[in-house]
Amino acid sequence: MKLQFERVVATGTAALDSGIGETALKTFNGDVYLYRVTGFGGGFASWRLSEGTGPTLIDQQLFGPTITYQIDRDGMPVTLGGSDQLILDVNTATGLVGYGLNSDGTIGALQETGTLVGGGDISALAQLSITRGDILLLAHEDTGQIGTYDIDPDGSLSSVGFVSAQVDSMQVVQSGGNPFLIGTDAASSTVALYSVIQTSGTINQIDTSYAIDVLGIGTPTAVETIEA
C-alpha cells in the first residue's frame, strides 16, 4: 500500500491555517465534521467530510479578545446538558470554556461553566457514562490533578473527587464491562492506568509500572485504544 498526496485545504485566513494543533471529529445527523484548532492569537474552523470529495469548509471562528492570548492548541468535544461544545485549554479560566457546536456544523457562542475547583486550565478530558450517570474527567494543569465531575441535567458540573496526576492526554477503554482511564504525561515520560469506580465516579491508579517500563517509550504525547 502506498500513500499518495491528494490536496491541501485551507480557510484562507492566516491565523487559522498555521500553528494547527489538535483536530476533533463529531457526527451530526449522519454527517461527519472535522474541527481543527490553532492556538495563541488563532481560532478554529469546521469542515464537513464527505466520501468521494474533499473537505468542505463550513464555518470559522477567531478566538475572542478575552481568551486569544491565553489559549493552547487543544480542542476537546463534549456534550453538557444536551449541548455540544468544543472545550478549549485556557490558562486563566476558572470554569470550563468552549464554543457551542451546532448540528449543521457551524460554530456557536463562547460559553463557560461555573467555577471549577481545579480551574479551567485543562490539558485533557474524557467523558463517559457509568452506573452513577454521565461524568467528566478533567486533567487540571494548575493543580496537577485529575478531577471527576458529575454532569448535571442543566449542563453544570458538580465536583466528585480528585487524584494527583499530571496528564496531557487521556483515553477511556472498556474491559470486562468496567471502564478504565489511560493517561500520558510527556514531561515525566509516564503512562498511567486508572480504574473508574462505577458507583462513585472516583478513580484509583493501578500499578502497571513494570509493564510500562518495558515498553521503551521515552516521551509519550498521545494515547489511543483499539479492540483486537
Element (H, E) at 211: helix 209-213
C-alpha 91, offset from chain centre = 15
Adjacent-strand bridge partners of 61: 44
Min mean pLDDT across 6-10, 74-78, 84-88, 160-164 is at 6-10
Quote the pLDDT of residue 37.
94
pLDDT at 209 over 70: no
pLDDT at 160 over 80: yes
Q: Which of 14, 68, 65, 15 is CA-nearest to residue 40?
A: 68
pLDDT, tens digit, 9 for 90 and up, residues 21-48 = 989 999 999 999 999 999 889 999 999 9
Confidence band, pLDDT 50/70/90 cuts, at residue 83: very high
pTM of the predicted protein model: 0.88
Task: Determine the average pLDDT of the residues in 6-18.
Answer: 90
Return d(Cα 49, Cα 46) in angstroms, integer: 10
Adjacent-strand bridge partners of 104: none
Task: Determine the average pLDDT of the residues in 73-86.
Answer: 92
Amino acid at 100: G
pLDDT at 208 over 80: no
Count the neighbouring beta carbons within 10 Å of the beta carbon of residue 69.
12
